[in-house]
Amino acid sequence: MLTVDALRSLISRLDGEPADALESETLEFKSGNASGREAVRSQLRAIRETVVGFANANGGTLVLGVADHAASRADAIVGVVGLDTQGIKNSIYDGTDPPILVDIEELSEPEGRLLMIRVPRGIPPHTTTEGVAKIRVGKTTKPLTGSNLARMKFVSGNNDPTAEIVPGAFSELIDPLQVDRLRRFIAQENTGSGLKALGDVELLDALELTAGSDVTFAAVLLVGHKSAIRRTAPQHELTIARFKDEIEYDYRRDLRVPLLEILEEVRSFADANARVEIIGTSGFRQLDVPDFSWWVIREALLNALVHRDYFLGVSTHMNLFANRLEIVSPGGFIGGVSPQNVIRHAPVRRNPLLADVLQSLGIVNRAGLGVDRIFRDQLRLGKEFPLYDANESYVRLVLYKTTHRDFVRFVDEQAIQGQELSLDDLIVLRSLIDRGHINRRSAADALNLPENTASQRLVSLRERGHLSVNGRGAASTYRLRDDLAHWVNDRGNGGVGPRSETELRDHVLAAITEHGVIRNADIRHISGISRSEVVRLTRAMREEGLIEVRGRGRGAHYVLPE
């Protein structure tokens, strides 16, 4: 459950992020303002429905006193008016069936009073006494109907779809040729050496893919007849498309075949469309840098297939564009995983049996999602950050092709010198290429680590001579050392400048912290954006209280608020 310190850390980000951007599967904000009897009743009804949604999923925390879409902390924290703690508790307990007992903690912030309502994970299904049944799905609370009821069974631990028994005889469901393919994978991965000598029935039984004469859904996905997949798992399909532009494709293939055959088909597609860039080094060696590492594609694709939501009757997609590869998996993140924390979050498996089997065979990453390997390999190859995008319906992973050649050489030189760069090192250095400057807070965001830990990573890179620092203490800003500074905004070399408004704001604030002031021309120079874009950006930052203007006309400049 969310702690008071964790909540205060979150609301400290409200100067720059709206509250709804901070919400998750286990956290929601509501204003909590009600005046008049009818308004109080309406507010309590909405609270009960949200509590029911949390209880039917993984539990969570409802924070009252914070408005959703405000652009600053002062506007977002509206405080709780018209509701008292005991009244809320009684309303929830008396107004839910089975009754839900919550814990409520009060926080006094300078802007107003907040209430943290901690909702335990229940024994579903819960409803309100008015007959309203809901469940938390991603950032929203949805009616508990149809597929959401099946989702609730899964979340509550009552159902692993891949462990379900599929009706039919063993010979009708299991393809001996696919079992032979499984044995070849076992031999290639050098794992379970005793397994490959077993007969078909014994092998699947040893992997717990069968139970006596019964065959599991996971077994059909892995080694089933194609006819059995069409009949029992029509949603188990990968659509591969190669796009000639952003709209039209010139190649498409729909694969409704067992999982290991999908891997082989994708490997053939990747090899046929591979492009390798040859990069020379100062040591007169050559580095072969592919558009994508096969191991990255394999890890990403297995994540999409193994952790997809089989309650949704849609296909998995892999789309190849001129500058990127996109993999889209049905079903959003679960268990508190989000695009922001995916690299750090503990493994959460949607389909435990299928994941366990592939992990035991060494086919998927034993630590869980293998996201750290995806990030590490992409960054080592000089690519941009992998981009995750998700809601309750899908997870999309975007892998970019463009290579920053100087960064590849640098990473290689460090390895030759026995100074291998860690994943955290790569994240910080790549962030500096994109942003130019970084401080404790922006480093913490990039690394998804606490600020103190992020600060240690920055200090370590500085001590190894890779960064220079300006300022002291919490106000310190870091940049690449002088001989690497040309990497920033080096678009011809595959580098990119700040791409989002958040990054642009960080860029401006870091420059003011370093120099004390900044002018419009300075912002255009360090960011590459137009004069009109600078005017729009600075106006928004002034309205949010991030900067103040001094002087007029040509003498106008910006400073931090006093």
| Distance from chain centroid for Cα 549 | 37
User: 3-state class of 252 per DSSP?
Assistant: strand
Long-range CB contact pairs, 428-431, < 8 A, 24+: 428/457, 428/458, 428/461, 429/461, 429/466, 429/480, 430/379, 430/384, 430/385
- Can you give the pLDDT at residue 494? 44
Place of tokens 């319906």: 393
From CA 284, how far away is CA 25, in angstroms rounded?
52
Q: What is the 3 state secondary structure string of 150-180?
A: HHHHHHCCCCCHHHCEECCCHHHHECHHHHH
- Can you give the pLDDT at residue 367? 40
- The H-or-E segment that residue 147 falls in is helix 147-155
Determine phi and psi for 283, rounding to 5 degrees. Answer: -90, 15
Contact 288, 276 (CB under 8 A): yes
Q: Which fold has domain 404-496?
A: Arc Repressor Mutant, subunit A (1.10.10)
Contact 404, 433 (CB under 8 A): yes
Contact 460, 414 (CB under 8 A): no
- What burial letters (b/e) apply to 30-43, b meaning 16+ CB within 10 Å? bbbbbeeeeeeeeb
**CA–CA–CA angle 297, 302, 303 (5° rounding):** 100
DSSP state for residue 312 in the 8-state scheme = S
- Can you give the pLDDT at residue 283? 67
Q: Which of 464, 453, 470, 466 is nearest to 516 (CA)?
A: 470
Strand 276-280 relative to strand 214-216: parallel, antiparallel, unpaired?
unpaired
Domain extent listing, the chain: 4-155, 161-232, 238-399, 404-496, 498-562
Helical axes 520-527 vs 501-515, angle rounded to 10°: 120
- Can you give the pLDDT at residue 350? 85
Which class is domain 498-562?
A: mainly alpha
Q: Which of 540, 471, 549, 453 is nearest to 510 (CA)?
A: 471
Other CB atoms closer than 10 Å to residue 368's CB: what's the count?
A: 18
Contact 440, 458 (CB under 8 A): yes
Contact 5, 116 (CB under 8 A): no
From CA 50, how far away is CA 269, in angstroms rounded?
46
Q: Which of 16, 4, 7 is nearest to 76 (CA)?
A: 16
Specify burial of residue 135 (Cβ count, 10 A radius: 0-12, 13-18, 19+): buried
Same CATH topology for 404-496 and 498-562: the answer is yes
Specify burial of residue 140 (Cβ count, 10 A radius: 0-12, 13-18, 19+): middle
| Distance from chain centroid for Cα 471 | 33
Determine phi and psi for 208, rounding to 5 degrees. Answer: 65, 30
Report the CATH superfamily, name and number, of domain 4-155.
Schlafen, AAA domain (3.30.950.30)
From CA 404, how far away is CA 170, in angstroms rounded?
52
Contact 401, 383 (CB under 8 A): yes
Q: Which fold has domain 238-399?
A: Heat Shock Protein 90 (3.30.565)
- Per residue of the chain (562 residues), give pLDDT as tens: 688 888 888 888 888 788 888 888 899 999 877 777 888 888 899 999 999 999 888 889 999 999 887 778 888 888 888 788 888 999 998 999 878 888 899 988 888 889 999 998 776 678 899 888 888 888 888 887 755 665 555 555 546 888 888 888 999 999 999 999 998 888 877 655 677 778 888 989 999 999 888 999 999 999 999 999 988 888 899 999 999 988 899 999 999 999 999 999 999 999 999 899 888 877 677 889 999 999 999 999 999 999 998 877 789 999 999 999 999 999 888 888 888 889 888 878 889 999 989 888 877 654 445 788 899 999 999 999 999 988 878 999 999 999 999 999 999 999 999 999 999 999 999 999 887 888 888 899 889 999 999 999 999 999 999 999 887 777 788 999 988 888 875 543 544 444 556 777 887 888 888 788 888 878 876 666 667 678 878 888 887 788 999 887 767 889 998 7
- The H-or-E segment that residue 37 falls in is helix 37-55
